[in-house]
Amino acid sequence: MQTRTLGASGLEVSALGLGCMGMSFSYGPPKDKQEMTALLRAAVDRGVTFFDTAEVYGPYLNEELLGEALAPVRDRVVIATKFGFDLIHGFDARGMKGAPGLNSRPDHIRLAVEGSLKRLRTDTIDLLYQHRVDPDVPIEDVAGAVKDLINKGKVKHFGLSEAGAQTIRRAHAVQPVAALQSEYSLWTRTPEKEIIPVLEELGIGLVPYGPLGRGFLTGKLDASTTFESGDFRSALPRFTPAALRANQALVDLLGAIAAQKASTPARIALAWLLAQKPWIVPIPGTTKRERLEENLGATDVALTAADLQEIDRAAAAITVVGERYPERLEKMTGR
Q: In this predicted structure, what is the pLDDT of residue 94?
A: 46
Whether residue 335 lies inside any domain: the answer is: no
Give dist(CA 121, CA 22) in Å, integer. Answer: 21
Distance, CA of 130 to CA of 117 (rounded, Å): 16
CA angle 269, 209, 128 (to 5 degrees): 145
Task: Give how far Cα 301 sits from Cα of 126, 223, 304, Å.
Answer: 29, 29, 10
pLDDT of residue 113: 98
* Residue among 173, 196, 162 nearest 54 (CA): 162
Alpha helices in the chain (DSSP H): 33-45, 61-70, 106-120, 139-151, 165-174, 195-202, 241-261, 265-276, 289-296, 305-316, 327-330
Distance CA 187, CA 297 (A): 21
What pLDDT is attached to residue 95?
Answer: 44
| Number of independent structural domains in the chain | 1
Q: Is residue 40 part of a domain?
A: yes
Which CATH number does the domain housing residue 114 bear? 3.20.20.100
Domain holding 322, by residue range, is 3-330
Q: Are 178 and 6 in contact (CB under 8 A)?
A: yes
Strand partners, 208: 182
Is residue 190 classed as helix, strand or coil in its secondary structure? helix
What is the separation of C-alpha 287 from the centre of its chain, rounded to a whole number of angstroms? 15
Q: Quick check: is 320 in a domain?
A: yes
Tell me whether residue 140 is in a domain.
yes
Specify the pTM.
0.95
How far is the C-alpha of 3 from the C-alpha of 34, rounded, in Å? 28
Q: Is 227 exposed, middle or buried (0-12, 13-18, 19+ CB in 10 A)?
A: middle
Q: Name the phi and psi angles at 239, rounded to 5.
A: -110, 20
- How high is the pLDDT of residue 98? 53
Q: What is the pLDDT of residue 230?
A: 87
Which value, in Å, is the radius of gyration of the alpha carbons in the chain? Answer: 19
Classify residue 14: in a domain, yes or no: yes
The answer to whether 270 and 212 have CB atoms below 8 angstroms apart is yes
Handedness of CA 79, 80, 85, 86 (dihedral sign): positive
Note the pLDDT of residue 99: 63
Residue 277 forms part of a structural domain: yes
Chain centre distance of CA 298? 17
What pLDDT is recorded for position 89?
A: 57
What contacts 330, CB < 8 A, 6 or more positions away? Answer: 323, 324
pLDDT per 10-residue tile (average), the chain, 335 residues: 96 98 93 98 98 96 98 98 84 52 95 98 98 97 98 98 98 98 96 98 98 96 90 94 95 95 97 98 97 98 94 94 93 94
Residues 120 and 200: their CA atoms lie apart, in Å, by 31
Predicted pLDDT of residue 87: 87
Catalytic residue annotation: 57
- Cβ atoms of 79 and 70 closer than 8 Å: yes
How far is the C-alpha of 17 from the C-alpha of 105, rounded, in Å? Answer: 29
The b-or-e profile of 194-206 (16+ CB within 10 A means b, else e) is ebbebbeebbbbb
